Amino acid sequence: MPTALPLLIFAGSTRQQSLNRRLARASATIARDAGASVTLLELSDFDIPLYHADLPSTPADVIRLKEVLWQHPAWIICSPEYNGSYTALLKNTIDWASCPVPAHADWQDGIKPLRGKVVGLLSASPGAMGGRRSQSHLASLLINLECWLAPKAFALGQANSAFDAQGALVQQTDRDRVRAVVNQVLWAAGRLHADRIGAAP
């Protein structure tokens, strides 16, 4: 399994007790144990307003977000499910990430930070379906932005009882399913981005 390409993991939530933030942290541990080079991103670290194309300038944290996304050829997104779809936070993040910046030499191409990324989808929910509907909606958006989606995905149901006190997944079967998504994302990214193997993020 290729491990030299940097892997970005983030959740579409900023809630302190978010199940998907827990899943992102648990996934980062699983990926690191597998030998991956992992960046665990918190969207709360970025001061990004609601998307508005008429703002006089692009916020500095949007540029920072674009840079982080572009630097990582492989992603794992942990998507909460609100009203049967992904969150407004995640949509706002992707809208800003794909917004062209005409005066910026690096980011005039709006989808440069997303094009060609290999993305694995995870989700967690207290319900039995585990947030699977959010994944199906998010998949359409990412494909439209020229991302490659890993065929494997995992929706963690009954997630309120799925983590131990240290934040690890309790069940070995759940850990194995996360690991399978991570492995597939890294395998595919290693082939699509072979020219970047060994490059630092």
We report the CATH number of the domain holding residue 29 as 3.40.50.360
Predicted structure pTM score: 0.93
Q: Does position 199 have pLDDT exceeding 50, yes or no?
A: no
122 touches 23 (CB < 8 A): yes
Average pLDDT of span 68-79? 97
Considering the domain boundaries, does residue 141 fall inside one?
Answer: yes
Q: Is residue 52 part of a domain?
A: yes
The per-residue pLDDT for 161 is 96
How many Cβ atoms are within 10 Å of 139's Cβ, its own excluded?
A: 17
Instruction: Provide mean pLDDT across the span 27-37.
Output: 94
Residue 60 lies in domain: 6-196
CA distances from 164 to 22, 102, 121, 143, 170 (A): 10, 47, 22, 34, 6
**Which residue pairs from 165-169 have beta carbons closer than 8 angstroms and sit at least 24 positions apart in sequence?**
167/22, 167/25, 167/26, 168/26, 168/29, 169/26, 169/30
- What would the DSSP string read from start to end of 110-155? TTTTTTT-EEEEEEE-SSTTTTHHHHHHHHHHHHHTTPEEEEEEEE
Q: Which of 196, 150, 185, 198 is nearest to 74 (CA)?
A: 185
Q: Does residue 201 fall inside a structural domain?
A: no
Span 48-59, pLDDT tens digits:
999 998 888 999
- Domain assignment present for residue 29? The answer is yes
Number of domains, the chain:
1
1: in domain = no
Q: Is residue 108 part of a domain?
A: yes
Assess if residue 190 is contained within a domain.
yes
For residue 124, being part of any structural domain is answered with yes
